[in-house]
Structure 1
Amino acid sequence: MVPGSTRKELILKARSLYDNYVKNNLFMKMILLFALITTVTIVTFSYFMFNVMSQSIIRNELENQKKAMDSVNSYMTRKYESVQSMVLDVYRNESLALHLTYFLQHPFEDYMKYQLDHYTNEADVDMPKGLDFFENKLDSDADIENLLLYSSEKQFLFAYKQGHVSKLISTNASRSYIPDAMALENSMMSVPNAWVRQAIDQQDPKLYAMRVPITDKNSLKNLGQLLVYFDSDRINQALESYKEQLKGYIIVLGPTGEVLFDSSDRYYGIRYPYADKIESLFDTAMLEQESYVTTLTQNQAGYMVVGVAPKAEVAAAYQRLKHTIALISAICIIVVLLVPVLVVTNFAKRTNKIIRFMRKVESGDLSARIQDDKEDELGQISRSFNDMLGELTRHIDRVYKAEIKQKHTELAALQARVNPHFLYNTLEVIRMRAVSQGAKDVGEMIYSLSVLFKSFVQPKGENTLKDELETSRLYLELFRIRYKDKLSYEIVCDESLAGKNIMRMALQPIIENYVVHGLQPRRSDNHIRISVYEAEGRVRIQAEDNGIGIDPTRLEAIRQSLDLVEEVGDSFGLRSVHERLKLLYGTDYGLEITSTLGVGTIVTIEFPSEEEAQHV
């Protein structure tokens, strides 16, 4: 825990650093913001790139495992088909089928006599007869460890073994469990039965058995079974080309989860401890550890090939990629930040230099000049500043004395009762002076002001829509020039309505309200549209702007204030227009405001299209 006093000191230090180096330092804020955006962007991109590439590596690793599983499955399918073909060959050869049938239905001594009696009568002396056929099959396939013929009727087992003499084993039910075990076995492929293993003295755990029932061709009576024990280690031959790429291990399971083959040599002789999970798996599971699991089922033979790839082993394959991406990202962040920091720091130094010279001028040193020969924006600002100082110095020398002389004349004019004609002429002189000095925008503003002043001071007897709209245009033109074309306006009026009479100063308070409260100086697209049209016997004038709009609560307060009696306070101009409309044309007329925050405001006024008696 950090003590309270220490925490407070850290907060104060951080606050001090912020105030000194960040709060009033635009360039530092730019650097920090750019650093934040750049770092987040590069880190995010690196994260997504790592995810995409790591997923691609995982898919490749699992695809390699799938190919290895296909190779194992192909190998075992060939063995399964070879055993099936062995029995079919027997059935296709009439003499061989008779020999095998007789062998399984009679004592071994009787079969030997039967074989001797029929040997000389067979036409095809090259075809193996009787038990020689199976012995030849054993010799031709080195993957076979044992080949067994079991007679269910006579209850004996005739066993062949690689490199050993075949032998006959009695399996009478009264002395052996083998008949019961044979009767219960119904799967095509499994691990060798323990009782059969003991009877034939076969203790090697790395074996898998293929079983085919033998029936009489004519009566379809079950005579016994053919069992072939294959060496599980031989399946590794199918994995030779995948050993270096294979992650995890491949295991082949029998119908009840017994292990027929295990590339890791860990589960031979036992039931696979995760067999129950395998049956319900889809993608990943917690076995020895969190692992990707892929299954391939051979329905005919009744076995399942399972590929198990621990996530930790697969992750090790893209661990180096992770470090590489992290290093590249760090280098990119450093390079991307270093260059802008150097550039911005240079700009900051030059900007601070300009500020220092401005402060010198502010203190009265008009001889200060900025030395910056570069052609970029800061260089142009520096030269413009120097030019401005030179022009200001010359102007003071040329105009200052004349201005002092004119002061007395202006003071005398102000002390007298100035008539409007004198003011118009004076405004015109000022306008021409501004034009002659190159300040055309000031001249335009003065012209608009003088025309406005004349319309207010010397009003005509009647005020038409045309006059009111022209006054509004001049008023808007003042603000358009004031905001350097950041404000645009549009006035639309049907020519047939231009001669309609309207009260004076109906639109000026509305325009003023927009300029003061709705116009946004930072925007360059401020716009107000004044449209005049006739609807339902009334002349309707709408002033629609794209300003900041009015909050609904504030809008409701303004609407309620329109009917208040006070003549001061907020919305006085709008309230005066609303009250005059009601006094002149009745309570059915007035001013209506609608607004959407962030979109703009629409102010609508209405008066009768046909002239009616004015209300007092």
Structure 2
Amino acid sequence: MDYFKRRPIKLQLLVIFIMFVAVVVSVMFVTYLQSQKMIYQKNQAYSIELLDKITQYIQSQIDTIDGLIINTSYNADVHQYLRTTELLDKIDAFKKVDTYITTVSQLENGIVDMTIIGENGNNVNLMYHRQKKKVVLDTVEEMKNYDSPLKPYYAGFKEIVESGIQKHYFVIGSKISNTFPRSTLGYLVVILDLDSLFPKFNTMLSSGFGSFYVLDRNGIVSSSNDARLIGQRLELDTVDARQEPYIVQTMELRDLQGKIVNVYSKRDLFRGLEKVRAVYGWIMAVCIPVLLALLWVISRNILEPMKSFMRFIQVQKVKNIYHGQERIQLVGYNEIMVMADKFNGMLDEIDQLTDEVVASKTRIMSLGLLKKQAELAFLKQQVNPHFLYNTLESLKAMAGETGAMEVREMIVALGKLLRYSIKGQDEVTLGKELDIAKAYLKLQQFRFAGRFDVHIAFPEALLNNRVIKMVLQPILENAITHGLESRMEKGNLWLSARATPGGDIVLSVQDDGIGIPGEKLALIQAEIAAGEEFLSRMHEGDNAHLGILNVHNRLRSAYGEPYGLIISSEPNAGTEVELLLPQRTEDSYVESAAHR
């Protein structure tokens, strides 16, 4: 090492440059290998995720169609039509069933035809188109051997020629069975347009790669981004015409009795790696000449000025310049001027930090004074609530003497609510919080005189948990004022609590009032997500939802994330507000207080 130090600085810089380039190349090589691995894994995960999304989409469409078919199979008018033998009853039932099928076909997109064939010879919409009729009858024959009467039978892809044009459909059938005694009344066959069941791959897979094939129970391609194979049986040797290594991923569609197949080349998994290679090439092509130029500049124009600058700094330090108000003033090389400016900037920052320290101490003292003033103001404000509470006690006694017992009960509830709000600890048991909520609801029911009913369901095991007080009353007030008060009919208010599997507590306040419009609900949810920023809006006068926001931020401040408030609503259906808080029993609260 000493030998290296004694070498000329240019030689040292050259050696450092070579070592730096070697390290950069090594790092780039390692990062390239890591990038290759990450891109491969990312693209593979993306392919699996895309396949899962397509499966979920198809499954959601299947669930919708299953519900439609099952509802039709168990329709009372359909059963009546397939059981009746009297001509007049048959005509009347036929009209009802025909109207029902026509309505369903018009309301549900993608339904081409719906046909009902009864074991007693009663049929509905058995079309005269020869190929469609054959498809329906073939499906019925297949269903006779189908052992699961509770699930629709997905017959699969069918190709039908209409007016000289080949059209592709998907056929689904279902047995129509009598419940008791168990017997088959007939069969329902639905012909669907492919777009109503499968996604449009050409638009959905704009950023994907490879080919996707949806196969029916017979292995026939029913939908794909490779249009030439639709209606054919999938053979992998016909898919990969380039003779490249490829990967095949499949996912079962159990309800469809088919599956989804994704076939893509292994080369596709490295898509994007060519950009990494190009970037690395440009980095090397640009950096090496730039580094060589910097090596020359450093050795020629910076090293000597740096030495001069350091000598100047030492001289100024000996002159005790740090203890005066002077700054270094140099005129010369640009590098020297920059370093001198940085040094002067450092001295300026020292002066600024000193001023900030003095200002911070002054501000701390001012805040202490403000705190004392606030405490005095709080003590003064306690006089009015105590005077009001004593007045209520007097009114309660007078109401008892005069026999106005209902008024006395209202005064008792109001006094309990007032005493609860101005006295006691910040945290109480859930049982006490529930008592105050009941007192508040008693006041509101007296005020609204039977306009709504209250339903309370609190498990006894949860009442010993500690919560911050006054979290239920603002939510109840919001539900009554904005939900039930404007309702023309008698309403309901549900107040409940439950424990979650994760060990938390959910308090729920639900009403069947007028609900909240979508735009207003989105605004409230945005204000909840804004967190403590609502305080600035409160000072600006925007406090339309202050009660809800206040409860949410109190829960978040007391317990942290993810605790707080969740609100959901539908217009004319009601609103539900859920408060999520941790379980903290009386014993655990005392233990944590002792540790503090």
Q: Which interval holds the TM-score relative to the shorter structure?
A: 0.3 to 0.5
Q: Give me the TM-score of the superposition, normalised by structure 1.
A: 0.38
TM-score (norm 2): 0.39
From the CA coordinates, give the structure whose radius of gyration is larger. Answer: 1
